[in-house]
Amino acid sequence: MISKFTRFLLPIALVASVAALGQTALPSAPSAAGSAAAVSATGTKVGTIAIEQAIFATNEGRRDFEALGKKLEPKQTELKGKNDDIEALKKQLNNTGDKLAEDARANLVKQIEAKQKVLDREVQDAREEAQGQQQEIAQRILQKLAPVLVKYAADNGFGVMLDTSQPWPQGPVIWWGEAVDVTKQVVDVYNAQSPVPPPAGSGATGAAKPTGTRNAGTTPKPVTPPAPKPQ
C-alpha cells in the first residue's frame, strides 16, 4: 500500500543522453513538410534521423529544457520532502508497530495511507504538467526543425527519411547504419541558422550519431512511479 517516491522530472543531461518527451508522441514525419515535400523529393537515397534526439540536441532545445528543469526543481524538492515524511512514518511503524496499541497502530497506518494517496496524486499531476511543458517546447522547435530537415533531404538527394527516435519494435526501423543517419548534420544546420548560442559550458555541439544498433538514437523516458507495494 506504500509506494516509493521516484523523481518525476525529465533528466536534464540532454547532450550526453537525451531524455525523450516522456510519453509524448512526436509525428514520424515533420508536419511542416506537407505535400510540398513529396513533390520536391526527387532523390532516391534513404536516410534516418532521430527526431526526438535532434530536438533536444539543438541549442534552443538544450537551453529550454534545462530552463524547464530548473523551473520544476522547487516542486520536486517539495515532493521529496513529503516523501521523506512518509518514509519516516513507515520506519516508525516498522520499528514500533508491534508495541503500539491496536488503535494507535491503525491510526498510524491510516495516516501513512492518506499521505501516500495525496503524494501519489501530486506526483502524477506534477509529471503531467512537466510532460505538457516538454511537449510545448518540442512542438515549437519541431515547427522550425521540420523545414530544415526537408531542405537538407532535398539538397542531398534523399527520397525517404525515417524517424529512429524509438527502437524497434516501438519504432518502425529494425536496424540502421551510421552512414545513413543525418541527425547531427540536420542539428548542425539548424543551429547554424538559429540565433540561440550553445549553452554555456557545453561540450561538443550537435547531436551524437546513433551507433547503428537497434537501441541507437533512443532517449531515456521520465521515470514513472512504481506500483504500490504491500506493507
C-alpha 184, offset from chain centre: 19
What range does the domain containing 53 cover? Answer: 1-231
HSE, side-chain direction, 13 A CA sphere, residue 83: 18
Q: What is the CA radius of gyration of the chain?
A: 23
- The pLDDT, as a whole number, for residue 170 is 87
Cα–Cα distance for residue pair 181/164, rounded to 1 Å = 9
Q: Which of these, 181, 197, 201, 155, lies nearest to 41 by C-alpha position?
A: 155
Structural domains in the chain (count):
1
Q: What is the DSSP letter of 2?
A: B
Is the whole model's pTM more than 0.85, yes or no?
A: no
Residue 83 makes CB contacts below 8 A (sequence gap 6+) with 4, 5, 119
Q: How do the pLDDT tens digits run along the chain, 231 residues long?
A: 333 333 343 332 222 223 333 333 334 444 444 444 444 567 889 999 999 999 999 999 999 999 999 999 999 999 999 999 999 999 998 888 778 888 888 999 999 999 999 999 999 999 999 999 999 999 999 999 999 999 999 999 999 999 999 888 888 899 998 999 999 999 999 999 999 999 886 654 445 444 343 343 333 333 333 343 444
Q: Which of these, 225, 227, 187, lies nearest to 51 by C-alpha position?
A: 187
